[in-house]
Amino acid sequence: MLANVFKRYERKYKLTAESYTNFKELISNYVVLDVYGEYTIYNIYYDTQEYDLIRKSIEKPIFKEKLRLRSYMEANDRTEVFIELKKKYKGIVYKRRSQLEYAQAKEFLIDAKMRRNTSSQVLKEIDSFLSTYKVSEKVLIYYNRAEYIGMKEKGLRITFDNNLRFREANFELKKDETDSEIIPNNEVIMEIKTNDSFPLWLCQILSKEKIYPISFSKYGTCYKNYIFQRLLKERGTHEKLSN
């Protein structure tokens, strides 16, 4: 059963296709492929008209939050999806999510009356977020994921994401041949998630292979490299974006 409340540390890394293959081999004695194996994740990110949430996130504040709708497969109205409220405070990630059918989730996100009548604590928190920020669907991002879990370390998860793509319209949770790349297809985003510190064997492999953490956000990268550039052209302004 998938958990709906998380508190954990997350570190991200960017790998080449070669280093990805090599790293997987090096950790093969310590991790196993998760029961869900390899799959595609679809996310719809919500933001204000002026993209205030992602703009604030890019500035690397002590606290930041975002709202997304996520599915682990192409979705129809009856597919089970997650509404997720993800917060980060001083490097620790807190995630709250609720599982609903896709049609119900979409209705919940636009129907204030439906939200007021919910008895779910997680959905009440999401309603509070929606009462604070006037948001709407802004971008669909999806990618292929392979997920591994530690053989001995409870809570250790290592994910590898590639083929990151996006579109700014037609917000259905499915692929389209016209969708655009976020990063080159031969690059892999690795994320290490733990409830505590990294095990020694993992630290040693990362050090030996000279693999260092980076600051990376799929939505943030998409915004900086594509959405923001489009907005500049459309508005004809010289607005600057924080690095």
Is residue 40 in some structural domain? Answer: yes
- Residue 240 falls within a domain, yes or no? no
Q: What is the mean pLDDT of the chain?
A: 92
Residue 146 lies in a domain: yes
From residue 128, give the alpha-carbon distance in Å to each of 67, 97, 112, 118, 132.
12, 14, 10, 12, 6
Nearest to 6 by CA among 108, 85, 83: 85
Is 202 within the bounds of a domain? yes
| Other beta carbons within 10 Å of 39 | 12
The total domain count for the chain is: 1
Domain that holds residue 47: 5-235
Q: At what angle do helices 102-110 and 121-132 cross, to 10 degrees?
A: 40
Each residue of 166-213: pLDDT tens digit?
999 999 999 998 999 999 999 999 999 998 889 999 999 999 999 999
The CATH number that applies at residue 10 is 3.20.100.30
pTM of the model as a whole: 0.91
In a domain, 225, yes or no: yes
Task: Evaluate whether residue 241 is within a structural domain.
Answer: no
Residue 31 has pLDDT above 80, yes or no: yes
Q: Is residue 12 part of a domain?
A: yes
Q: Is residue 56 part of a domain?
A: yes
pLDDT in tens, 129-159: 999 999 999 999 999 999 999 999 988 999 9
